């Protein structure tokens, strides 16, 4: 999920806190109580004709279906709906396959985006179920539509990636974690994942995420990451951040280009991103890098204390 900001501060929709005591219901009569900073938890469900890995996303009040196998998709949809009702979550998101996405539509889901080439070359259909009028309604939708119209009709030739004097672009190392946390903390007041927690970064650094950084005089001034979906050979480019003093120099394009090259070397076929709907800068960056606009996730995640729409941009790497 794309985090770069153009100094936009949306109006909060409601107060949500992940600090303290959080109760998450896993099923009828099954409740987990967690103490401390809680974003959510992974939970595997199964029944006759289906098995699915879910992320019960307390911070963003939603359920994400991370992966599933189902001969009875309707039964899985009902099971996920029950969990959403039990926890009071008002959005469900699933990357459905070509064979299944219309089954979700019959159950009241809407098609929000298509991530081309996501499932080992096959398209993923991002379907969502809204469970409240507040979550369904976006007050900035028309503004975002006009922004995309403007960007996609601008000259689309990619800008050449040039060396920038004094800056070093490289993959991040484990000893960069404290500086990464300092960068992200300085930019984001809140974030929809535990990006500013050292234990989280230490864990994802091992297997799930590649980070690229730009340094100036030894200080990290920009960073981006590729969240790896190993099973699908796809990656989400995310966690993009640049200090104000280093913006406007094409650093983010260079970081993303480095990550794309690394993904290609690992035989990943798809990269995509979720860019904030009202961020001209990041939407323009991905458009000029050859990504296709493929839809918008309404009120997808909480950034700066309010739900925001996220634009989907997709690129075939191989």
* Residue 66 clears pLDDT 70, i.e. is over it: yes
Tell me, what's the pLDDT at 9?
Answer: 40
Tokens of 281: 């800068």
151 against 4, higher pLDDT: 151
Cβ burial of 16 (10 Å; 0-12, 13-18, 19+) is: middle
Tell me, what's the pLDDT at 114?
Answer: 98
Topology (CATH) of 19-136: Aminopeptidase (3.40.630)
φ, ψ at 151 (rounded to 5°): -70, -45
For the segment 71-97, the average pLDDT, to the nearest whole number, is: 97
* Residue 43 clears pLDDT 90, i.e. is over it: yes
Q: Is the dihedral of CA 149, 94, 1, 291 positive or negative?
A: negative
| Average confidence score pLDDT of the chain | 88
Percent of residues, the chain, with pLDDT higher than 70: 88
pTM for this structure?
Answer: 0.88
pLDDT-derived band at 15 (thresholds 50, 70, 90) equals: very low
Residues 100, 73 contacting (CB under 8 angstroms): yes
Q: Is the dihedral of CA 294, 298, 302, 308 positive or negative?
A: positive
Using one digit for the tens of pLDDT, what is the confidence trace for 255-309?
A: 999 999 999 999 999 999 999 999 999 999 999 999 999 999 999 998 767 899 9
Domain coordinates in residue numbering, the chain: 19-136, 141-316
* Residue 156 clears pLDDT 90, i.e. is over it: no
pLDDT-derived band at 19 (thresholds 50, 70, 90) equals: low
Tell me, what's the pLDDT at 306?
Answer: 83
Using one digit for the tens of pLDDT, what is the confidence trace for 232-242?
A: 999 999 999 99
pLDDT-derived band at 160 (thresholds 50, 70, 90) equals: low
Q: How many Å apart are CA 59 and CA 316, to the nearest integer?
A: 31
Q: What is the DSSP letter of 160?
A: P
Tell me, what's the pLDDT at 163?
Answer: 59
Residues 54, 43 contacting (CB under 8 angstroms): yes
For the segment 55-72, the average pLDDT, to the nearest whole number, is: 95
CA atoms within 13 A on the CB side of 164: 19
Closest CA to 308 of 13, 94, 6: 13
Tell me, what's the pLDDT at 1?
Answer: 43
Topology match between the domains 19-136 and 141-316: yes
For the segment 2-25, the average pLDDT, to the nearest whole number, is: 52
Q: How many Å apart are CA 81 and CA 312, to the nearest integer?
A: 25
Tell me, what's the pLDDT at 105?
Answer: 98
pLDDT-derived band at 215 (thresholds 50, 70, 90) equals: very high
Report the phi/psi class of residue 20: left, alpha or beta, with left for phi > 0 and alpha for psi in -120 to 50.
Answer: left
* Residue 185 clears pLDDT 90, i.e. is over it: no
Tokens of 239: 């966690």
Of 19-33, 141-155, 232-246, minimum mean pLDDT range: 19-33
φ, ψ at 201 (rounded to 5°): -60, -40
Collapsing DSSP to helix, strand or coil, 117 comes out as strand
CATH class of the domain whose range is 141-316: alpha beta
């Amino acid at each position: 999920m794309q985090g770069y900001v153009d100094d936009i501060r949306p109006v909060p929709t409601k107060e949500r806190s992940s600090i303290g005591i959080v109760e998450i219901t896993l099923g009828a009569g099954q409740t987990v109580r967690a103490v401390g900073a809680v974003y959510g938890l992974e939970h595997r469900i199964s029944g006759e004709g289906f098995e699915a890995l879910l992320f019960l996303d307390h911070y963003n009040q939603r359920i994400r279906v991370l992966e599933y196998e189902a001969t009875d998709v309707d039964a899985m949809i009902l099971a996920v709906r029950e969990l959403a009702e039990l926890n009071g979550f008002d959005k469900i998101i699933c990357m459905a396959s070509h064979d299944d996405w219309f089954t979700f539509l019959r159950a009241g889901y809407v098609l929000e985006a298509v991530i081309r080439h996501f499932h080992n070359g096959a398209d993923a259909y991002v379907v969502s179920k809204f469970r409240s009028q507040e979550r369904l309604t976006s007050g900035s939708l028309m503004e975002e539509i006009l922004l995309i119209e403007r960007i996609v009709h601008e000259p689309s030739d990619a800008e050449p990636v040039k060396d920038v004097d004094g800056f070093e672009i490289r993959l991040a190392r484990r000893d960069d974690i404290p500086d990464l946390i300092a960068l992200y903390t300085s930019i984001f007041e809140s974030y929809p994942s535990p990006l500013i927690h050292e234990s989280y970064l230490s864990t994802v650094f091992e297997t799930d995420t590649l980070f690229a950084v730009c340094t100036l005089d030894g200080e990290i001034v920009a960073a981006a990451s590729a969240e790896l979906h190993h099973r699908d050979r796809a990656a989400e480019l995310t966690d993009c951040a640049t200090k104000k003093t280093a913006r406007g120099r094409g650093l983010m394009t260079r970081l993303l280009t480095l990550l794309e090259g690394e993904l290609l070397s690992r035989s990943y076929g798809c990269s995509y991103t979720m860019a904030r709907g009202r961020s001209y800068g990041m939407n323009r960056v991905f458009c000029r890098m050859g990504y296709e606009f493929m839809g918008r996730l309404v009120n997808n995640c909480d950034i700066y204390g309010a739900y925001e729409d996220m634009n989907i941009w997709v690129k075939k790497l191989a």
